[in-house]
Structure 1
Amino acid sequence: MSTVLEEERSLLEELEKIEYAVTKRIKRNASIYKPTTLSKDHNILEDGKKPLAQTLLQQHEIKKLIDKYQTQSSTLLTFLQNDKDEISQLKEENADSFKVFEKLYKETTANHQKTLLLGISKSEEDIYDMFSCNVEKDEANESQPLKKKQRKNRKRLLSAYTADLKLSKIFTEKESFGKFLDLQELYRAWLSLPRTISFDSNKVPTYLNYLDSITQFDDENLNKKTGDYIYYLNGLLSYLKNFWIKIQPLSIPERSITAIESNFESEKEKRIGSTATDGSIYCSICEKSFAKQTVFDSHLTGKKHKKNAQNNTKFEIMKLEYIIKELLNLLSKQLENTKNEAQRFKLLTTREKQLELKNISNISDYEYDYDDQDGTDPTESKNQDSNSDETIYNPLKLPLGPDGKPIPFWLWKLKGLDSEFNCEVCGNLKYKGKLIFSKHFKEPKHELGLKMLGIEDNFDAFKDISKIDDVLKLLEVMKTKKREQLLFNDMATEVEDDEGNVMTEKVYQQLKKQGLL
């Protein structure tokens, strides 16, 4: 058989396998890919509500499969452009069809025998299938012991081709699968930067202070001319770029980074020159002032300025600071979550911190799931296990966490979920926890209850009031004050008639209408 044509056929088969593998993953977990436009979203995929960690892992796996697909497509295109000689040779040989058939038959038989000798099985050929990375020893290597019924179908989710992917290599424990930024190392590097006046040993900025001021690069105390500062900026930029890419591997996040860099280059002349109050323009690269814009424009094209721009680190620092600010704008949600988490962790006692760190589950546990391709119903087996062996012991009736288990008792107490609050305005609904109770005052249900009591606007004035009697009393007080204010406004303006008699404007208008003036 023609070597080139066989390679083309093999490549086409491999491309089909990759397409099918990607389709199977998206069909199994619809959260992996969401169309950007509603017209492309037909809502025909099942949403199994898989954990976020598992979704991100499969997104990274699909990204790797797409890279492989592009590589093999390029190889196939090269073969297709150079297979004319092979095709013409086959056409000449077709004159004697039986000889060609016998030749191809022998080659096919030889290839089959070679495959049998190598011991390549069907399961090993399908290296792109889910769960194909598993071997018999996988169950013994799992971090936590599982019940026998669970071990039957619970396997590592990845394919044999992407078996080297590990969640622990993609995310750290503190990043919580892209929810938080892990900037502890960069915080320590920021503390050690050279400064004109060092920090007081009793007033060293905390991690939370660093997060609040991470984009404030105008600190005059910092010595920016040192290599340490540029090294710190490069480290921070590298982390933010990698984080932005790994939280959305299928959205081509590199485009956003390229757009930010090109935007800086297109406006770099505006950033180099700053206009002073007297109208002069200061060049930050050459550290010189120019009286007019025309003089400054001609200076930008000069050899001296270009030479300084190439050798000056100030321009490089400006670029790094700009890109970091823009990336942190894109990651504003994650930065805010990190601040809140740092604040929450700071308020915990030492024992609570130890308990929380102890209860952190192993990241690699999320790489395992139930294989639904072996002829059994995973949902049914899970339900059977939960009814028999997986009965959750929850005598205090604590709320369930994201892992389906009751949250720790100390966390339940910390969030105030042991306290119950009643709201008569919402129809005697009960809310557990002060935070949830406080948030509900801005919800549509509570505002609807206020409208039914005759309140049309200014809902904020009735915040934290949950009893109907208190609401009605406050409403009456507000109406009385409003009437008094209107009366005061009417009585406040005084006018004079032609004879010099002083009276309120209201009395004046009434007398004028009656023709008494």
Structure 2
Amino acid sequence: MATLLEQTRASHEEMEKLERIVVKDFQQEIKSHKQRLFQGHRVSLRLDAVQTAAGKLQKIYDDKDNSRRDEIAAIGGQNVFSAFYERLKEAREYHRRFPTAGLTEVRDDPEDQVKEEPRIEFSGEEGVGRYLDLHLFYHEFVNSSFGRPMEYLEYIQQLDEFSNIPRQHRMTKAYSEYLEKVCEYMKGFHERTLPLTYLPAILEKMDSEFEEAWEGQQVPGWEDKGCGVEGHVDSTVDLEGYESAQQLLDTIDADSLKSTLTSLGLKCGGTPQQRAERLFATKGVPLESLPKKWFVSGAVPASLATEEQAQKQQAKGKQVALLEARVSGMVGQLAEAIRNTADNVEKKLVRTTEERIEELEEEDDVMENDSDEEDEIIYNPLKLPLGWDGKPIPYWLYKLHGLNQEFKCEICGNESYWGRRAYERHFREARHQHGMRCLKVPNTKAFLEVTKIEDAVALAKHVDDIKEFTWNPEEQEEHEDQDGNVYSKKTFQDLRRQGLI
């Protein structure tokens, strides 16, 4: 049985050995993402072992039971030789009874230890830590009450944009569970891909910054601390131009009525007539003066809630806001991986089925190949987009997809879009939708291909003028008999029923 002094010496030796292995590992030339990932996990395991040995040493040096002091006193007493031979006798007797006890296998050579490949679990979509696999959360989002239909690429780009979600949906249990799952996945992905970054310290800093912002009412979208509907999007319908609920119903479609009521925190159920009446009742009236039953759960104005309800609502809102802040913080920590994920998804959109099959066949070879050329300087004088292999795509493919054509959109702040595909897709993206909302113009199919502010405003005015003209098929639809006489639909049907034509 090893003495405390022997345990102390062995722990110091183990720490020094681990430190030398870490230094030798960092001196290696790393050429690929896979090698860098393995090196990070090897070093992380060594550092954990160093911390474990340091913890043992700390307990020995603290000497709370005075065993180390007694052992040193026994060695350095007056009868030094008698103590030495007594301990030697105990050691021989111990090894005589247990001849194989304490024997350990010879450790591997340091050269072999710095070449170990730790086992790290990644899904196929994650590409050995290069990309995030958010498909599960994407399907949950688009099929939930707080989500909306969108493409996977748009979901990745808007992962931390929560302001477009109505307040009453953000206060639901399903939304909180969704945020928790997204946050846990991102933390797990961070630990697997960045093992040398101490994540608990980052999370603690996120929470402390959130607490300060929350107390100062500086959390975007939660300035009211979850009590009230002040954080909701304003109504997109100008009620000043309507004299009655019926006129509102005749002019605005049912979906617009529903979205406007939702943005105000009001219930959007019932018939279109009831929705129009509920919305028209808010004309020139503060939300606080409306009946409390008109509001959905989680969207009651603060002035209508009791103190207990306000505190409960504030605590619930703080929990949701904290989860949103954590997700946003993790998105910032994994910004490069998220950007690579979006680029990878966009590349897949322009590939044919044959190219995808070929990529799957070559994926195993690429994963096992240590000579990754991602750090090499690529000659790309034409600045062509990079393909799936990290090299510039062929020039003929660049011309085929029209990536040399630039389309500018004045509504998006003169943003440039390269290629017809990106140009057509941007009309459904958040930037263009935000620009249309700023112009108070509905982003419908009628406004596709409209990129100038002046044209969009003029077209919106023209559409409003057309809506004032009501089509009456009974009077304005024309029918012709066999003799070529033209009648209105009503007259034609009356004469035919009487047998006159």
Aligned: 1:157 with 2:115: yes
Runs of 4+ in structure 1 over 6 Å off: 110-116, 275-278, 432-435
For residues 208 and 65 of structure 1, do their structure 2 counterparts lie closer, same or farther at Cα, with a shift above 3 Å needed?
same
Give 1:78's aligned amino acid.
Answer: K
Aligned: 1:102 with 2:85: yes
- Whether the 8 Å CA contact 1:4–1:79 is kept in 2: the answer is yes
* Structure 1: tracts of 5 or more residues without a match: 30-47, 133-155, 292-298, 370-399, 405-409, 420-431, 440-517
CA distance in 1, matches of 2:388, 2:312: 61
> Which position in structure 1 is the counterpart of 2:425?
none
CA distance in 2, matches of 1:110, 1:24: 41
Cα deviation, residue 229, structure 1: 1.7
* Structure 2: tracts of 5 or more residues without a match: 225-229, 235-283, 289-296, 377-386, 405-501
CA distance in 1, matches of 2:302, 2:69: 67
CA distance in 2, matches of 1:273, 1:12: 54
Aligned: 1:207 with 2:152: yes
CA distance in 2, matches of 1:219, 1:63: 40
> Which position in structure 1 is the counterpart of 2:62?
81
Of the three residues 79, 96, 100, the one matched with 1:117 is 100
CA distance in 2, matches of 1:411, 1:260: 35
Aligned: 1:166 with 2:119: yes
CA distance in 1, matches of 2:287, 2:203: 30
1:205 counterpart SS class: coil
CA distance in 1, matches of 2:139, 2:299: 33
Aligned: 1:91 with 2:65: no
Give 2:72's aligned amino acid.
Answer: I
> Which position in structure 1 is the counterpart of 2:347?
344
> Which position in structure 1 is the counterpart of 2:172?
226
For residues 349 and 211 of structure 1, do their structure 2 counterparts lie closer, same or farther at Cα, with a shift above 3 Å needed?
same
CA distance in 1, matches of 2:337, 2:362: 23
Aligned: 1:243 with 2:246: no
CA distance in 1, matches of 2:109, 2:319: 44
Cα deviation, residue 214, structure 1: 1.9
For residues 205 and 418 of structure 1, do their structure 2 counterparts lie closer, same or farther at Cα, with a shift above 3 Å needed?
closer
- Whether the 8 Å CA contact 2:15–2:53 is kept in 1: the answer is yes
Cα deviation, residue 68, structure 1: 1.9
Equivalent residue runs for 1:81-480 within 5 Å: 81-82=62-63, 83-92=68-77, 94-97=78-81, 99-106=82-89, 117=100, 120=103, 124-126=105-107, 129=110, 131=112, 157-158=115-116, 165-167=118-120, 169=121, 171-194=122-145, 204-217=149-162, 218-220=164-166, 223-269=169-215, 270=217, 271=219, 272-274=222-224, 287-289=300-302, 305-310=310-315, 312=316, 314-361=317-364, 365=368, 416-417=393-394
Give 1:95's aligned amino acid.
Answer: N
CA distance in 1, matches of 2:171, 2:119: 40
For residues 111 and 251 of structure 1, do their structure 2 counterparts lie closer, same or farther at Cα, with a shift above 3 Å needed?
farther
> Which position in structure 2 is the counterpart of 1:490?
none
- Whether the 8 Å CA contact 1:180–1:334 is kept in 2: the answer is yes
Cα deviation, residue 131, structure 1: 2.9
CA distance in 1, matches of 2:2, 2:101: 22
String of CA shifts for 1:103-148, please: whole Å, max 9, x gaps: 4444555677789736956xx342694535xxxxxxxxxxxxxxxx
Cα deviation, residue 4, structure 1: 1.8
> Which position in structure 2 is the counterpart of 1:508?
none
Q: Given the two structures, how large is their TM-score scaled by the length of structure 1?
A: 0.51
> Which position in structure 1 is the counterpart of 2:451?
none
Cα deviation, residue 226, structure 1: 3.5
1:131 counterpart SS class: helix
For residues 15 and 353 of structure 1, do their structure 2 counterparts lie closer, same or farther at Cα, with a shift above 3 Å needed?
same
Cα deviation, residue 176, structure 1: 2.9
For residues 434 and 308 of structure 1, do their structure 2 counterparts lie closer, same or farther at Cα, with a shift above 3 Å needed?
closer
Cα deviation, residue 244, structure 1: 2.9
CA distance in 2, matches of 1:116, 1:51: 48
CA distance in 1, matches of 2:173, 2:308: 26
- Whether the 8 Å CA contact 1:8–1:79 is kept in 2: the answer is yes
For residues 81 and 318 of structure 1, do their structure 2 counterparts lie closer, same or farther at Cα, with a shift above 3 Å needed?
closer
> Which position in structure 1 is the counterpart of 2:33?
52
Identity among equivalent pairs (%): 22
For residues 71 and 285 of structure 1, do their structure 2 counterparts lie closer, same or farther at Cα, with a shift above 3 Å needed?
farther
2:100 counterpart SS class: helix
For residues 232 and 360 of structure 1, do their structure 2 counterparts lie closer, same or farther at Cα, with a shift above 3 Å needed?
same
For residues 58 and 411 of structure 1, do their structure 2 counterparts lie closer, same or farther at Cα, with a shift above 3 Å needed?
closer
Cα deviation, residue 290, structure 1: 6.3
- Whether the 8 Å CA contact 2:171–2:298 is kept in 1: the answer is no
Give 2:181's aligned amino acid.
Answer: G
> Which position in structure 1 is the counterpart of 2:19?
19
Q: Given the two structures, how large is their TM-score scaled by the length of structure 2?
A: 0.53
CA distance in 2, matches of 1:416, 1:209: 23
Cα deviation, residue 356, structure 1: 0.6
Cα deviation, residue 234, structure 1: 0.6
String of CA shifts for 1:355-389, please: whole Å, max 9, x gaps: 111211279847x99xxxxxxxxxxxxxxxxxxxx
